[in-house]
Structure 1
Amino acid sequence: MYLGRWFAPLVVLALLASAVVTPVAAQPPTPLLLDSQPVRRPKHDRAFVPGEVLVQLHNGSSLVAKGAANTQTVRARFASFGAEAATTVAPRTYKLELGPTADVAAAAARLAADPEVAFAQPNYIRHAYRGVNDPLSTFQYALSRVNAFGAWDLTTGNSSVVIAVVDTGVNASHPDFTGRVLPGFDFVNNDSDANDDEGHGTHTAGIIAAAGDNGEGIAGLCWQCRILPVKVLNYEGAGTDAWVASGIRWAADHGARVINLSLGGEDDAPIIRDAVRYATSKNALMVVAAGNSADRGNPVEYPAAYDEVLAVGATDDKDQRAFFSSVQPYVDVTAPGWNIPSTIDQNSVPYLAASGTSEAAPHVAGLAGLLLSRSPSLDVNALRSVITSTADDLGPGGPDSEYGAGRINAGRAVASVQAPGFEPVPNPNLPGVAYFPETQHTLRGEFRRFWEQNGGLPVFGFPITEEFTETSAEGTFAVQYFERNRFEYHPEKSPPYNVLLGRLSDTQLRQQGRDWFTFPKGQPTEGCQFFPETGHAVCEPFLSYWKRNGLRDPQLAPDGRSLALFGLPLSEPALEVNSSGQNVLTQWFERARFEHHPDKPAEYQVLLGLLGNETARSGAGSTPGSGQTPADRCGIVPPSENAVVAPGSCIVIGTFLTVEGANFAPGEEITFYVGREDGRISQQRPLRANAQGRAGFGAMFPFPPGMYGLVMQGTQSGVKSVTYVRVIDR
């Protein structure tokens, strides 16, 4: 057995070297820029300045009417609320200092209920949208290519998931692995010291599980997963079949759910085939590098060619097959494998870039770890199916020998699996536990109290999970998903604030590639309520519903209750197609999506969108709605390739559609046409890419119901963008 790789070009190596000669901790964090576009991920820690509340007075308040509003009179007016000082922030708006030990949330709620106060809020701390703060993540184009950020919105891994690196060993003392490398075994020297004396194993381990967002080096795919080092290759990167077979079996016997093999050879070895089958029988997914010899005769390589393994080819930074990546019918999927920076311990250099299917395979192993973190019950076959079925198809349509099923899409894969709480449960017939046969889930404790007191079925819908612990970029919480939202339990807070709603609108919009900061703004309008914080107004038919519902806190003013439950508006009302294929007037709020259904009885014309379903499940809308059960008119729409479409891939006939493709050569001419299900295509029309290599259009989609493919192809680069759209009747 052997390993193979190409080291990165000297220019990039020089950049990496300059980044690591100085200790990483001494360097300022590097802004994460991937594909020349900043990756924006908001941090949802709900932090605010201790002891500070922002207050705005009504125009008609006594202080304003008398022209007596200033910092001294405002401080005196609110002294009973604990105000020790006041500072002017904006017209009629003041920052009150209540002291560092004040209960800011409670004080803001009481102040909001004061008749002279227009609004009161904690002085929240905002964060720049950012990616992980690992300095070398700037060079990790693979993170955006495989949509790692979308996966990390749902999970960054779990320490219960063990991934074996059967390789040259792992440098357990590397700062990007602190506390997550388990005791392993060295079959080369027949001892328990599985330290790496070559560097290859440490490099693959970093791609799998280097800690993310820790200010060190790089970010791996599965930050919380643990690494099981199994040394089967020596200091020259070579090892015998006996060592490799023993290492596979040992890893399977010691708790590995995923085994990464970035090694191979041209000889079919029954001893390794039997070890692979043994590990698979123990429910361990075998992820194997497909081989690096496409340009050197393209031989069949083992163990990649065995049916039981997931064989991984390599793509480059242009999302094309890397020139060395083996072209064989056994290639299952591909992942980035060109110029990949990762952890190493070689000549005192802690990070190095390298290329090969050795670097591609650990991306897939890390993805498998994320999937198991979210849904531990997945078996080998299910893992394989999820990874291949959610990949982005490259090359000829369908599976092929270059790309397999395509290049992995971690965000889509993780979103497609259910957390463990989704499994239906029987009625426990216990006091204090509500059971819903419609979804076969229970509701109890603080979540039941909050659900019943703040709107119940019409506002939140049925529970679609049990309570379970969820780890995401926002933290680790006990959560429960409902059709229209997610509850988070915060025992450190006092009721009713110990149960918080997820900001699922923000999550959904980001998953759709839509930035609500860029949405067209509204303006103050008679009969509407305008919110300067976001620049949007709430008007009928949504305003009455917004005012009528809210958090049941008697200390809050009516508008404060609505804000606490739904949050601020993020958009103006606009026609959009929901997950059930209905074209409805829609307005997005921080914690809800309002939809207007004029065909329903008056009391049900304003309904809340199924954000809980859409966030927690792939193919949302499968759970019966609370009082409405719209048919799924969209069916399955293939994912777009190298394109973004709005408002969505399923539209009502006559909807205004915008499509944008990327990665074209700057300024090149683009050929655009529309393909139909029956094979006919429209007349071609020319477009031109902008300076950033993007091209797009917006138009009222004129075609009758059916499935369409909107194709843009660069005349120079050959880059193709395909958007699939299903058109349905009104």
Structure 2
Amino acid sequence: MKVLVLAAVLVVSAGAASSASAVTFAAAVPSGRALSQLAKADDALVALTGDERAARLVRARGGRLISPELRLWKLSGGAAARLVPELQRLGALRYAEPSRRRDSLVRFVDPLSSPALSYHLRAVGADRAEPPGKGFPITILDSGIDLGHPDFAARADTVALNSQLVSGPDGDDYHGTEVASIAAAAVNGVGGEGVYPLALLRTYDVRDELDDDSVIQGIEAALAAGPSVINLSLGGPEPSRSLHEATLRALAAGSLVVASAGNERDSGNPTLYPAAFSHVLTVGASTRGDASTDFSSSGPAVDLTAPGEELPFQDPLDPAGHYLIAGTSFSAPLVSAAAAWVRTVRGAMTVGQLADLLRLSARDVGPAGYDEQTGYGVLDIPAALTAPLPPRDVQEPNDEISHVVAGGLFPRAKPLVAARFNAVLDETEDPRDVYRVSVPAGRKLTVKVSSDDDVRVALFGPTARTVVGSSGRLAVADRAGTLPETVASANRTSRSRVLFLAISPGRARTNANPSYRVELTTARAQR
């Protein structure tokens, strides 16, 4: 597990979302102390609207475009701070933040010999099902892979998305090789065996700096290569707006992001990112006895666990030797490999359905039901291969207005929703849904939402910027219980209007992942 140190301003607020687990960001435009901190940073990330004048201005100050889809530029902190007022006057600045380094917190244990070195494969059921051939890819974003290591030498279907710079087995730059081995080491008579040995394995070396811009560029490279399961065995205590947006764009592009929960439970147990971001499948570490390890970070973001102690890795300097590794860094690739395996065998499904299959089919351990140490339980591959497919969600990611309007997270707006549709929420992974709804001229829109649990429904006007808080809110309904909620708004103008419908878990909720049905009707608006 690598620790991510990123500067951003975070506000944790129930607000309109009715969920303290949602991550929201304040002060996208830094000022005061935040602007001073930006100026002192070696590097900064600046996200723009689609204004070409602003792009030319940033380029002239030495900016380099690192994500065309996010309109995200990298430049020096001082240049970024000086540009903020100009970009703000142009109305072209979405946000600006420092780019910070990431440090390593991998846990190693002493080498030892054991007849049960590969217990982790049996613990997740990899011995009770036959892994498929090449299929849905795994992408490892980490330090580079040593392609000459016994687990990878002459391994087929191993694709380096950039040059892999590995100095040797000592230090953190061998971390990526260890992570990749757990996921997909070849069955070749030497070394270890991965969960999905024949997987199409892609790797991107994020280099020694481990800056957030390096990880974002890795996600961009992964998406350019096509949908995959993206493994992020890294994280840290401060959220980054730019990294969050990159993970959401991965979701929209059909890629599942899997992150390690962290190794910080005995060090204050801070909330870590990207593990705590919505729509990221977060993996804790379990012991040989299926309990949560004493170091595995806990919290509402943990989705499931996988073995994370005493995992074998072939010593590259001694053909007859192994050493043992531990940490949630190595639990995550077990789940990433399982996700690619399940997606290959079961065929097309949404990213959300794939994540839910793995979470909801996990083998329950510890207290009955979900808990913040082990999530839904320990990864169970055979169960995930046979469990019913979870309900399909629509238009994800759509947690905020900026996710559904043109020029926000995406260049194009999400389509207007149909008159009737079904969807699901999750208190941590999908804490609210926002949709664009149309009200024709001279008509009154009525929205009825039926759910198997308490939900909160609100309508926001066309100029609203966020569904957090009450600014721009036209109507709200949040009665305790499961009776349908109804909100309405009349358009007495001569032109149609687009409003924003926000649905989130209600105050009296009892279910962490309620499903709901939306019905839209219109009638003549009374004058």
1:313 aligns with 2:288: no
- Separation in 2 of the partners of 1:199 and 1:391? 30
User: What letter is aligned with 1:139?
Assistant: L
Match of 1:274 in 2: 245
| CA displacement 1:143-176 (0-9 Å, x = unmatched) | 1111111122xxx133132111100011122332
Task: Trace 1:344-383 onto structure 2 (pairs within 5 A).
Answer: 345=316, 351-383=322-354
Q: CA deviation at 1:193?
A: 3.6
CA distance change for structure 1 residues 201 and 256 in 2, over 3 Å: closer, same or farther?
farther
- Separation in 2 of the partners of 1:299 and 1:393? 25
1:386 aligns with 2:357: yes
1:145 aligns with 2:123: yes
| CA displacement 1:278-324 (0-9 Å, x = unmatched) | 11111111010001000000001010000111000001112111111
- Counterpart of 1:300 (choices 243, 267, 271) is 271
Match of 1:262 in 2: 233
- Counterpart of 2:150 (choices 150, 175, 195) is 175
- Number of residue pairs the alignment of both structures matches: 283
1:339 aligns with 2:329: no
CA distance change for structure 1 residues 281 and 347 in 2, over 3 Å: closer, same or farther?
farther
**SS in structure 2 opposite 1:273?**
helix
CA distance change for structure 1 residues 5 and 193 in 2, over 3 Å: closer, same or farther?
closer
| CA displacement 1:462-521 (0-9 Å, x = unmatched) | xxxxxxxxxxxxxxxxxxxxxxxxxxxxxxxxxxxxxxxxxxxxxxxxxxxxxxxxxxxx
Query: Does the 8 Å CA contact 2:182/2:330 hold for their aligned counterparts?
Result: yes
- Separation in 1 of the partners of 2:320 and 2:106? 18
Match of 1:401 in 2: 372
Match of 2:205 in 1: 231
Q: CA deviation at 1:196?
A: 6.8
- Separation in 1 of the partners of 2:284 and 2:299? 9
Q: CA deviation at 1:398?
A: 1.2
The answer for unaligned runs of 5 or more in structure 1 is 17-32, 34-137, 187-191, 419-730
Q: CA deviation at 1:343?
A: 4.6
TM-score by length of 1: 0.37
| CA displacement 1:517-536 (0-9 Å, x = unmatched) | xxxxxxxxxxxxxxxxxxxx
Match of 1:157 in 2: 132
- Counterpart of 2:178 (choices 195, 198, 203) is 203
**SS in structure 2 opposite 1:199?**
helix
Task: Trace 1:413-452 onto structure 2 (pairs within 5 A).
Answer: 413-416=384-387
- Counterpart of 2:108 (choices 1, 4, 7) is 7
Query: Does the 8 Å CA contact 1:185/1:194 hold for their aligned counterparts?
Result: no
Query: Does the 8 Å CA contact 2:234/2:329 hold for their aligned counterparts?
Result: yes
- Separation in 1 of the partners of 2:359 and 2:167? 31
What's the % identity of the aligned pairs?
32
The answer for unaligned runs of 5 or more in structure 2 is 1-101, 390-527
CA distance change for structure 1 residues 386 and 274 in 2, over 3 Å: closer, same or farther?
same
CA distance change for structure 1 residues 305 and 349 in 2, over 3 Å: closer, same or farther?
farther
Q: CA deviation at 1:194?
A: 5.3
**SS in structure 2 opposite 1:287?**
strand
Query: Does the 8 Å CA contact 1:200/1:344 hold for their aligned counterparts?
Result: no
- Separation in 1 of the partners of 2:283 and 2:317? 26
Task: Trace 1:677-696 onto structure 2 (pairs within 5 A).
Answer: none
TM-score by length of 2: 0.51
Tell me which of the two structures has the higher relative contact order, counting C-alpha pairs closer than 8 angstroms and 6 or more residues apart: 2
User: What letter is aligned with 1:6?
Assistant: R
Query: Does the 8 Å CA contact 1:171/1:345 hold for their aligned counterparts?
Result: no
1:286 aligns with 2:257: yes
User: What letter is aligned with 1:160?
Assistant: G
- Separation in 1 of the partners of 2:178 and 2:316? 9
Q: CA deviation at 1:185?
A: 3.8
Match of 2:31 in 1: none
Query: Does the 8 Å CA contact 2:244/2:277 hold for their aligned counterparts?
Result: yes
Match of 2:407 in 1: none
| CA displacement 1:399-451 (0-9 Å, x = unmatched) | 11111111111121123379xxxxxxxxxxxxxxxxxxxxxxxxxxxxxxxxx
User: What letter is aligned with 1:157?
Assistant: P
Tell me how large the CA RMSD over aligned residues is: 2.2
